[in-house]
Amino acid sequence: MRHYEVTFIVHPDQSDQAKLLIEKYSTEIKDSKGAIHRIEDIGLRKLAYPIQDQFKGHYILMNIECNQDTIVDIKSSFKFNDSIIRELIVTKNSSEEGESSLMKVTKLDQEREKEKERERESYEREKSSYKKTDGITKEKKTDSIKEVSVDKKEAVLENQTVDISPEKSDTKIKKVEQ
């Protein structure tokens, strides 16, 4: 028996069938007295170039050990399965276990995407914490602002009125009558 690395890409609209395909091919390999050393459901990834007008695909990688007849059967089933848009079967010298390079890159990409999302959210929060009062002056918003009057150029903060007019260089605080 030889060692093989089988990689196939499932159409993104049919990625829910990926687990069924894994089970089908696993059963076929086990029935022929083969061994499965590694199965990785890598998931949806961007393709390097469009395949059948698709820009993403659901990747699956299997490291197996089986006879030549089983590989021929798997290849022929790939040809007649419309949900598989690309496949690659490579002969290996030995079995490979552990995480594949593609899975490592996928995890790194997911971590980078999460970090970018956190940065975007932080930026949006920071951006929304500032408000524009009269087109020129920007003041940081606080939870204690109760009322802002642009025509009077004043803001009411917890029993105090703050003059925010651009003509004056310093901010004046006046006590509000209750």
Q: Domain spanning 2-94: which superfamily?
A: Ribosomal protein S6/Translation elongation factor EF1B (3.30.70.60)
Q: How far apart are CA 128 and CA 115, in angstroms?
A: 20
Domains in the chain: boundaries: 2-94, 128-175
pLDDT at position 94: 85
Q: What pLDDT sits at residue 132?
A: 52
How would you write the pLDDT of the chain (178 residues) with one tens digit per residue?
A: 899 999 999 999 988 889 999 999 999 999 999 999 999 999 899 999 999 899 999 999 999 999 999 999 999 999 999 999 999 999 998 888 888 888 888 889 889 999 999 998 888 887 776 655 445 445 554 445 545 545 555 555 555 555 555 555 444 445 555 4
Please give the Cα distance from 176 to 171 (Å, whole number). Answer: 15
Nearest Cα to Cα of residue 66 among 29, 96, 27, 22: 29
SS3 40: strand
pLDDT on residue 155: 52
Residues in the chain: 178
Q: What does the pLDDT look like over 16-58, one tens digit per residue?
A: 889 999 999 999 999 999 999 999 999 899 999 999 899 999 9
